[in-house]
Amino acid sequence: MGWLITLGILTLIAVTPIGAKIRYDDEGIFLSVILGPFRLTLLPKKKKEKKPKKEKKPKEKTNKQKPAEKKAEYQTDPGPKPVSKPAEKKKAGGPITDFLPLVNAVLKFLNDLRRKIRIDHLDVKLILAGDDPCDLAVNYGRAWAAVGNLLPRVERIFVIRKRNIDVECDFTADETLVNAGLELTITIGRVLSITCLLIFRAVKELIKILIKRKGGAAK
């Protein structure tokens, strides 16, 4: 009975997903780590709220003020002002020039894990800027052509479950913006299998090197 419980625990660990959730918008980069049902935010880091310093009360003067002066002082005090809540700001996009290097870095890093990592959610919204309708129409067609060329390459590397890709035009924007989100996961069992495969290949190459150094023929 004990071995069945052990097997069940190992199976549960093997199918537990680990991964990361990445988002890029006008507020910068959001990064959180996924471990099963848990989420740990790494970026942005929460700022510690500074406690307001307690103001020292002035020492009471021995000389008593006249009643008229006290009344005037009381009337000039406006009291606490009502605090107005800031209006909620809609999330726009961040500069695409800052976003593309992030994409290239992620694709190079994950290139060795082809089809082992699953993209659960892929959201990309490209907002093209320009005041000329003709130029925007040309850029709009080029953007969708780039998406058509890039997406099959991404699908050769990852398994994509859900995706939402959109291109819009904005005549009032000063620069092209992008709003993107990515959530990718891989099970612990796959990580262990990949690690074991890499160790096996490394040991195999090490044995070949040792055989060559001893003067034997490595196959």
Residue 72 lies in a domain: no
pLDDT at 211: 80
Predicted confidence (pLDDT) per residue in 184-219, tens digit? 999 998 888 877 877 787 787 778 777 876 765 555
Greater confidence, 29 or 54? 29
Q: Residue 139: which residues within 8 A CB-CB, separation 6 or more?
A: 128, 130
Specify the number of domains making up the chain: 1
The pLDDT-based confidence of 33 (bands split at 50, 70, 90) is very high
Residue 139 lies in a domain: yes
Q: Alpha-carbon distance 91 to 78, whole Å?
A: 37
At residue 191's C-alpha, the angle toward residues 186 and 195, to 5°, is 155
Domain range enclosing 23? 16-42+91-187
Residue 64 lies in a domain: no
Per the prediction, the chain carries an average pLDDT of 78
Instruction: Tell me the whole-structure pTM to 2 decimals.
Output: 0.61
